[in-house]
Amino acid sequence: MRQVLPILAALLVVQPLPALAQEKPAATATFRIDKARIDRALADMVASGRATGVEALVWKDGREVYFGATGLADREANRPFSRNTLVQIYSMTKPVTGVALMQLWEQGRFGLDDPLSRYLPEFATMLVQDGTDASGQPLWRASKRPVTIRDVLRHTAGFAYGDGPSAAEKAFAAADPLGLDHDLTEFGHRLAHAPLIFEPGSEWRYSSAVDVQALLVEKLSGQKFEDYVREHILQPLGIKEAAWTQPMERLDRFAATYILGADKKLTREADSITRQRNFPKPAMTMGGAGIVAPIDDYMRFARMLLGQGSLDGVRILKPATVRLMATNQLDPRIKERSWLPGKGNVGFGFDFAVRVGQPLTPDEQRGAVGEFFWDGAASTLFWVDPANKLAAVFFVQTKPFQVSLHRDFRKAVYGEAYLGPPGD
Q: How far apart are CA 397 and CA 87, in angstroms?
A: 7
SS3 399: strand
The residue from 48, 82, 91, 143 that is catalytic is: 91
Sign of CA dihedral 329, 351, 192, 185: positive
Residue 404 neighbours by CB under 8 Å, 6+ apart:
4, 6, 50
Secondary structure (3-state) at 359? coil
Burial of 343 (0-12, 13-18, 19+ CB in 10 A): buried
The β-bridge partners of 128 are 141
- Residue 98: count of CB within 10 angstroms of its CB: 23
Residue 390 · residue 306 · CB < 8 Å: yes
Directed axis angle between helix 184-192 and helix 209-221, to 10°?
120
**Residue ranges in 69-176 assigned as alpha helix (H):** 94-106, 149-154, 167-175
Question: Burial level of 46, CB count in 10 A (0-12/13-18/19+)?
Answer: middle
Q: Write the single-letter amino acid at 394.
A: F
91 among known catalytic residues:
yes
Instruction: Return the amino acid letter for 281.
Output: K
CB 120 within 8 A of CB 83: no
- Report how far residue 72's alpha carbon sits from residue 239's, in angstroms, rounded to the nearest whole number: 25
Q: What is the dihedral of CA 112, 114, 117, 120, to 10 degrees?
A: -40
Query: Comparing C-alpha atoms, which of 76, 77, 32, 38 is closest to residue 57?
Result: 38
Residue length, the chain? 424
Q: Other C-beta atoms within 10 Å of 137: how many?
A: 9
Residues marked active site are found at 91
